[in-house]
Structure 1
Amino acid sequence: MNELHVAWAPWSGPGHEHLVLREVSGALTAHSTVEGVSDQGRRFSIRYFLRTDSACRVREVELALLGGDARLSLRSDGAGRWSDDKGHPLPELDGCIDVDISASPFTNTLPIRRLGLAPDSSDDVTVVYFDIPSLSVRRARQRYSCLGPSLYLFESLETGYRAELPVDTAGLVLDYPGLFRRLPPR
């Protein structure tokens, strides 16, 4: 079993994420706490848990807004069919394999690892997008392009937003220009 402790901070303003990532037989579990400030200037703290299968397909994600009752728990069959914590199907999320938690650069690791893109190749993905701190959920279309062995281009196909993401050997983002920067280990 491999275990990594990773931390990121916003480029500007207060905030911090501490992630504990465990890998067993290719499957990942992530436990993280994120503190930050929303686009509207509201402070928030969230905790999330995420689990993938050995093909890096998200199987479970749980989010909780700390200091309140807001919680969200979703499960996937790994083939893009989602349900809530009571087992009720969520057909509006059909086809989503990956997730994107807006307050965390970690979720970019999931499609980067799952797709295993060769340099100069790209692939489009549809993700379950979690807006933080509202915990609202929607589908989002994105593209990942491999620019080199440790550099990816992320694109939102809906907004046109683009960012080059340098990553380490585990596919974890080192720098998300304008949003997050990886902190050195303590």
Structure 2
Amino acid sequence: MTPFQNASLWIDAENAQDPNSEIYESKTYPKELLYSNRMYERLLDFHPDASEAVQIASKAQHICRWKVARESYPMDRVGYLKWREDLKKFHAKLTAEILEKAGYPQAFIDRVSFLIEKKLLKKDEETQLLEDVICLVFLEYYLDPFVHKHDTEKLKNIILKTWNKMSDKGHQEALKINYTDANLQLIKDALGL
């Protein structure tokens, strides 16, 4: 097996341990394994010639996310931002350990960590690609559950923040997603289209 195949299997094995589950098309999945698969599939669909580093970063974006509970941080904006920052470091560290075990050189491991930590967004092409994929996966699979939890103004704010992180190519792809009529209208209202 190649280092990539081993790393992919080990990332999947970690995410398969998620005690949280999600039902998709009548099948139950460990939540982060499903997210990882969605990220990887969306990346290959959106940018088929993505580098191996971006492919791994897409799969490991939320690796073992459940182990760093949101509730263990203050439930305010500062606590949320600190949780998100710590999560990025946690995901990068865990992925680096897997990549080392798979036999990747340090320079490659450092690059994947750089991507997972989303450094130089808008400046680094691959960081931007990964962010586009994160936003596309959110809009396709996770916007609808948000719609049922939040009021319209908060949703518009979330959509606008998501949109502002994306590239023009990401925007074009986002408008091709098959939304419900209500969600498409919400997106258009948020963006002033």
TM-score over 0.5 (shorter chain): no
Q: Which has the larger radius of gyration?
A: 2
Greater strand fraction, Structure 1 or Structure 2: 1
With the length of structure 1 as denominator, give the TM-score of the two structures: 0.31
More helix per residue: 2
Task: Answer 1 or 2: higher relative contact order, Cα 8 Å, separation at least 6.
Answer: 2
